[in-house]
Structure formats: C-alpha cells, structure tokens
Amino acid sequence: MNATLLRCSIIAALGGLLFGFDTAVISGTTDHLRAVFDLSGALLGFTVASALIGTILGALFAGHPADRIGRRDSLVWIAVLYLVSAVGSAAAWDWYSFLAFRWLGGLAVGASSVVAPMYIAEISPARLRGRLVAITQFNIVLGILLAYLSNYGIAGLEYGEFEWRVMFGVEALPAAVFLVLMFATPRSPRWLVAQGRSGAAAQVLVMVGAKDVQRELSEIEASLAESAAGGDEALIQPKYRRSVRLAVAIATFNQLSGINALMYYAPHIFRMAGAGSESSLAQAVIVGCTNLVFTMAALLVIDRFGRRKLMVAGSVGYIVSLAATATAFYRYGTEFSSFGSMVVLGSLMVFIASHAFGQGAVIWVYLSEIFPNRVRAKGQALGSFTHWAFAAAISWTFPVIAEISGGHAFSFYSSMMVLQLIWVLKVMPETKGVPLEEIQKRLSS
C-alpha cells in the first residue's frame, strides 16, 4: 500500500478518533452532571443528547462546505470546533454554557462523520477503499476506548468536584494534533477536478499511488461532466431513489440497535446491573477493548468478505446478545446477583463485538460508496443526518425507559435487529471492489 495514501487516510481518520472520544467521554460524567446541575432523568437525557442535536445539524449541512471549500479545509475547521468544544465544556460556568459547548462538539462530530469518510473514499483505489474508509471506524472505536480509559484513570486521581471538567478537557490535546496534521494532507482529487484543477488532481493521484492516473482522471472528469450537464441536482429524485433508501435504512438500523445507549451510558448500565462505581468504569473499558479488537478484525476482511456478509454476522450477534441482556434485566430487575451482572457484561461484550464487526465497520464505508460524485456530499449528509437523528432519540429516551425497565429497552433493540437482518438478506446490494463510478450506474439503472 502506498505510504502517502495510508498516511493521509490515517490523518483524516483522526476526525473519527475525536468523534469517538467526544461521544463516549460523557459516559463517565453523567452522575457528576446530574448532581452539579440538579438534573432529572429526562433532563440528563437531554443534556447527553444536546451534543447530538449539534451532530444532526453538522451532518445535515457538512456537504455544502465540503463542496465549496473542499474536503481537507472542511476537516481543518472541524478540528477547530473540536478544540473549542473541549476547552469550553471543561470551563462551563452553568448548564446553558455547557450545553452550548457540547453542541459545538456535536457539530464537529456530525460534520466529520460526513467529510472524513468522503475524503478517504475519494483518494483511495477501489480495491482498498473499504479497508481505508474503515480506518475511520477503527479510529472512532479507538477514540471510544481512549475516552473510557481516560475517564477510568482520571477517576482514580480523585479530582473531586473538578473530575468531570478534567474528563472533558483532555480532548483538547488530540484536537490540537488533528488540526496541525491536517495541513500536511493533499486535497481530494475529485474535488480538485470539480474546481477545474485537473493538473493538481493528477499530482495527488500520483502521490497516493494510482496505477493508471490518466484513466482515473478521465473517469472522474466524465462523472463530473455529467454532473455539470445536470446542474445542481436535487438528491430526492427517481434516479437516486434506491441510493437514498439504502442510506436511510442502514443509518436508521445502526441506531435502533441501541449502540449509542451503550456508548453514552455504559457505566450507568453496569451500575443498573449491580456493579459499583469504580467497577462500572472498568467494565466500560472492557467494552471499549472488545469494540477495538473486533473493529480491527472487520477492517482486515471487509474487502475480502464484502459488506453484506459482515452485516449478516453482526445482525445475528445483535439479536442474540440483546435478547440475553433483556432477559437478564427482566429476571433480576434491580436486585442483580453476581451471576446476573456477569450475564449482562458478557452479553454486552457480544453485542459490541457484533456491532464492531458488522454495522460499525460497514456504515461509513457504505455511505461513501452508494451515491454518485455529483450528489455524494448531499447523500452522505442525508445518511449521517438520519444516523444522528436516531442517535439523539435513543440517547434522550434511554434514561427514561431504563427507569421503568432495562428489559423493555433491550428487547426493543433486539426486535429492531431482526428487521435489520431481513433487510440485509432481501434488499442490501454488495459494493465490494466495485469502482465508485460503476456503483452509481448499477444503483440508478
């Protein structure tokens, strides 16, 4: 693999690492936030979801600056948002200021979920695209693990009432590194061609190791020429209907698994299942490690086995693990034995492994593939918007539902994954190893 291609992909995917860190770091602070700001269960859910409201907007509108100023420069501004959010959340002087800075971080998360995979997909050859775009997902789960480890380590240092502030402030360091490194990456060749800079695009294609630069340049120019002939096309029209439906479906199912309930409330869930405060943070680290290991496994095989096979394997794992978790909560209620606590931990480890190997590895790759160049930014924005809208709904409602019964929440998630399995088997097309220009022909035919 070309060294420049790998380096650029890893740097762009640092947006994913901050994405993961930013979303998971709040899991260690929920008890502090409830006490400091005197929050009810519903208000705690809203506080956690506040970042996701920004995420929805970031995902929805990221496509415009990505097309206007380019994928790379958009990532630079995303890094700035991460940095401001980290410092501001740590220094928040009241609940409203905290919500505002978390909202800015959400803008960065939503935008990076669109732009980072788009950038990597556009600099990657078809044979490596799935593996390289999946680096974003690897970095997301690495960021989640680092957040859990950071929270666990900071809790052990006994900062007292400042503990939650330190947990948020730590994110400023990787945000600053991301900002600096982004200036060392080239622009997307597809964006450069769209700006009439084919010579610069050819240079980038050479840098990233393209085997037939002229052929790839011709394909990009032909695709963009078709786009120009059609003007500023709307995404919602018959020829893109299939791509739109696929994007909305995969993004919706991703969150109906309940994955963000676990990401945002892992320590809280383990305390519900009988774990102590320190033990619950340690168990969250175990979940993060499992997530990382199985994401690495998926990263190695996604271009060999394809997207559908990973989705099938993940769906089966989802169904079994979530059903087992729901059964444990129905069986033990609020009086968990040590065996019941181990059942919940084991089941959620299977759950996170299933997510990492299936939906987690596939979603951002798939969204970067199924739309043609002329509407790719809009299509990815739609997919990410759908993903984060459902993420906000799940994160907001979980504390309220969990106060009634943890079993109700996890049984609902399990039933949704039965529907996902049916969708994968009956509807989802394979995109493994297919050039982006060929995928758009197949889906629009």
* pLDDT tens-digit readout, 204-227: 888 887 777 888 888 787 777 766
Q: What is the pLDDT of residue 360?
A: 84
Range picked from 192-196, 277-281, 312-316 for highest mean pLDDT:
312-316
Is a pLDDT exceeding 90 seen at residue 27? no
Contacts of 416 (CB under 8 A, 6+ apart): 253, 256, 257
Residue of 52, 41, 59, 54 lying closest to 110 (CA atoms): 59
136 close to 53: Cβ distance less than 8 angstroms: no
Q: Is residue 209 part of a domain?
A: no
Q: Tokens for 227, please give them.
A: 């786009």
| Predicted structure pTM score | 0.76
Residues counted in the chain? 445
User: What pLDDT is recorded for position 230?
Assistant: 54
Residue 326 has pLDDT above 90, yes or no: yes
Task: Decide if pLDDT at 343 tops 80.
Answer: yes
Q: Is the pLDDT of residue 228 over 80?
A: no
Predicted confidence (pLDDT) at residue 299 exceeds the cutoff of 80: no
Domain that holds residue 149: 3-185+231-444
Residue range 149-163: mean pLDDT, rounded: 88
Whether the pLDDT of residue 71 is over 80: the answer is yes
Identify whether 88 is part of a domain.
Answer: yes
Whether 168 is covered by a domain: the verdict is: yes
Q: Are 85 and 172 in contact (CB under 8 A)?
A: no
Confidence band of 347 (pLDDT split at 50, 70, 90): very high
> Residue 92's pLDDT is what?
94
Q: Taking 70 as the threshold, does the pLDDT of residue 229 lie above it? A: no
Tell me if 193 is assigned to some domain.
Answer: no
pLDDT band for 155, please (50, 70, 90 cuts).
confident
Share of the chain above pLDDT 90, in %: 32
Give the pLDDT band (50/70/90) at residue 392.
confident
- On whether residue 198 sits in a domain, the answer given is no
Question: Has residue 428 been placed in a domain?
Answer: yes
Which is higher by pLDDT, 11 or 444? Answer: 11
The pLDDT value given to residue 127: 73
Tokens of 205: 């294609």
- pLDDT value at residue 204: 84
Mean pLDDT (whole number) for 58-72? 85
Q: Answer yes or no: is pLDDT of 323 > 80.
A: yes
Distance CA 288, CA 380 (A): 26
pLDDT per residue over 409-423, tens digit each?
Answer: 999 999 999 999 999
Q: How many whole angstroms from its chain centre is CA 180?
A: 22
Provide CB contacts within 8 A for 260, sequence distance 6+: 23, 391, 394, 395
Q: Please state the rounded mean pLDDT for residues 238-251.
A: 90
Measured CA to CA, the distance from residue 426 to residue 36 in angstroms comes to: 49
Residue 241 φ then ψ, to 5°:
-60, -40
- 238 is a domain residue: yes
Does residue 320 belong to any structural domain of this protein? yes
Residue 1 has pLDDT above 70, yes or no: no
| Listed ranges 12-26, 109-123, 161-175, 362-376; the one with the highest mean pLDDT | 161-175
Query: Nearest-CA neighbor of 395 among 246, 269, 244?
Result: 269
The CATH number of the domain holding residue 236 is 1.20.1250.20
pLDDT of 307 above 70: yes
| Average pLDDT, integer, range 398-412 | 87
Answer with the residue of higher pLDDT: 326 or 19.
326
Per-residue pLDDT band at 445 (split at 50, 70, 90): low
- The total domain count for the chain is 1
